[in-house]
Amino acid sequence: MFETKGVRREWAFRLEESNQLRNDLIGLGAKLPVRDSLGVYPARNFNGSWGDYRRLVIEAVGLIREENNRMLLRRCRFYMLKLVKDSATASCREMTFEEECQLLQNPNYLSDEPMSDEEATDDDDSE
């Protein structure tokens, strides 16, 4: 199935990606999803069997992949919104409420997964 060493390397890569996406979302003023994968990954002093450790690592990697994909979609959507607003401002007009709603509800920018587990960007989600 999975080689644990390779999965741990993927975890390190995905964690770095997750932190960068989090910083990007904060910069755009978007809400952050709760990063549950950070609580699933086993601690260094894990007291359990090798099989349990391996299962938790694989579960955490799968979860962080999903979270990163959702954050990437959210970053794209909010970046598009920022570009449209900047463009409207540059042409001396303001976007109407309907235009903003149409952009935010555009299926090309919506995630497949609901992001109802959001925290405001000023909350600390690193724990």
CA–CA distance, 12 with 71 (Å, rounded to integer): 17
The answer to the question of residue 125 being in a domain is no
pLDDT digits (tens, 9 = 90+) for 29-88: 888 888 888 888 777 777 888 888 888 888 888 999 999 998 998 888 888 888 888 888
Give the domain extent around 113: 4-119
The answer to the question of residue 26 being in a domain is yes
pLDDT digits (tens, 9 = 90+) for 92-110: 888 888 877 777 676 655 5
The answer to the question of residue 58 being in a domain is yes
The answer to the question of residue 126 being in a domain is no
Continuous segment of H or E residues that includes residue 119: strand 118-119
CB burial of residue 49 (10 Å; 0-12, 13-18, 19+): exposed
Residue 99 DSSP SS3: helix
The answer to the question of residue 127 being in a domain is no
**Total domains present in the chain:** 1
